Structure 1
Amino acid sequence: MKAVLFVCVENSNRSQMAEAFARLHGSNHLEAFSAGSNPSGQVNPKAIAAMQEKGYDLTIHHSKSFSDLPDAQFDFVITMGCGDRCSHIPALIREDWDLPDPKTLPPDEFNRVRDEIEHRVLDLLTRIN
């Protein structure tokens, strides 16, 4: 099993949805985690609603910091466009998915970001297998 960490600043939107899609589509191939460099302390209700539309209950997640992560070697660390605000966490492969923070976007634009995250997670899964 590969270990994948998704990172954004607040761990309330993008990285939470990426972790959810990785669990939804790839639970047989990877362990998915997410964290934030400055966690908000809660998952955005917009993200919860957007993922509910995809059949995933994001209410079981919570906003996490790097110190909440298990002491593990990550195969992949995927940052969500947070640039130098995302701490460097060692990984075999690092990628930055330059995605806009959807927290203030209206629902249709928020869902476009959600759908792009799902597309990228599915692509990642094909590369992992």
Structure 2
Amino acid sequence: MFCAVSPFYPQSKLSAESSVSMLKILFICTHNRCRSILSEAITNHLGQGKLEARSAGSQPVGEVHPLSLKYLQEEGVNTQGLISQSWDEFEDFAPDVVITVCDSAAGEACPLWFGDSVKVHWGLSDPSKLTGDEEHIAQAFRTSINEISQRVHAMLTIKADAQDAVALRQAFNHLGAK
């Protein structure tokens, strides 16, 4: 598990009566070129104005994996503006939830400015690491996109039954469980 989790969560983000509204999510992956990019794009595509996502890396490589863009576009997801960038770029973003999507990023020390953000880890397979025939790689990307899409749809149904980080963290951890 990465970063200490604060027992505090701003009351304005949760309501016992309704789904979470306009939740800001930062997806983290070491290189910010595949899994975190897929997660950002899909969350913004499906988020219905209730989720605002960004992605970053602790050691970004400076370019998005071309197959990430290809398979997002194939699914009708807007890829304009997606870039590989450092988490240092998001100090003013103030995410409500920070989600690591690769195991190496989950083990790294997090910036202090993550502060009271709820922090969870969703281990996702990295389709960009596969070798083999084109169809095998394409299927891996489609599987990742489908898994992320299912989690985003589930995010939209989260009902806050308590106004604290524990309930939100449990809900997000449940979404990431395999």
- Among 58, 79, 83, the alignment partner of 1:58 is 79
- The percentage of counterpart residues that share the same residue type is 33
- Identify if the C-alpha distance between structure 1 residues 128 and 31 changes in structure 2 by more than 3 Å, giving closer, same or farther: farther
Q: How many residues align?
A: 129
2:107 matched residue in structure 1: 84
- Identify if the C-alpha distance between structure 1 residues 53 and 5 changes in structure 2 by more than 3 Å, giving closer, same or farther: same
- Among 115, 119, 122, the alignment partner of 1:94 is 119
Q: Contact 1:48–1:59 at 8 Å: present in 2 too?
A: no
Q: TM-score, normalised by structure 2?
A: 0.65
1:104 matched residue in structure 2: 129
Does the alignment pair 1:119 with 2:144? Answer: no
1:104 offset after TM fit, Å? 2.3
* Structure 1 unaligned residues grouped into runs of 5+: none
1:128 offset after TM fit, Å? 6.4
CA distance in 2, matches of 1:32, 1:98: 18
CA distance in 1, matches of 2:25, 2:154: 14
Counterpart code for 2:110 = S
Of stretches 107-116 and 8-17 in structure 1, the one that deviates more from structure 2 is 107-116
- Identify if the C-alpha distance between structure 1 residues 80 and 86 changes in structure 2 by more than 3 Å, giving closer, same or farther: farther
- Identify if the C-alpha distance between structure 1 residues 91 and 79 changes in structure 2 by more than 3 Å, giving closer, same or farther: farther
1:59 offset after TM fit, Å? 4.3
Q: Contact 1:47–1:58 at 8 Å: present in 2 too?
A: no
Q: Contact 2:45–2:78 at 8 Å: present in 1 too?
A: no
* Structure 2 unaligned residues grouped into runs of 5+: 1-21, 131-136, 161-178
Q: Contact 1:7–1:86 at 8 Å: present in 2 too?
A: no
- Among 74, 77, 81, the alignment partner of 2:95 is 74
1:44 matched residue in structure 2: 65
- Greater percentage in strand: 1
1:73 offset after TM fit, Å? 2.5
1:26 offset after TM fit, Å? 1.0
Instruction: State the superposition RMSD in angstroms.
Output: 2.0
The structure with more radius of gyration? 2
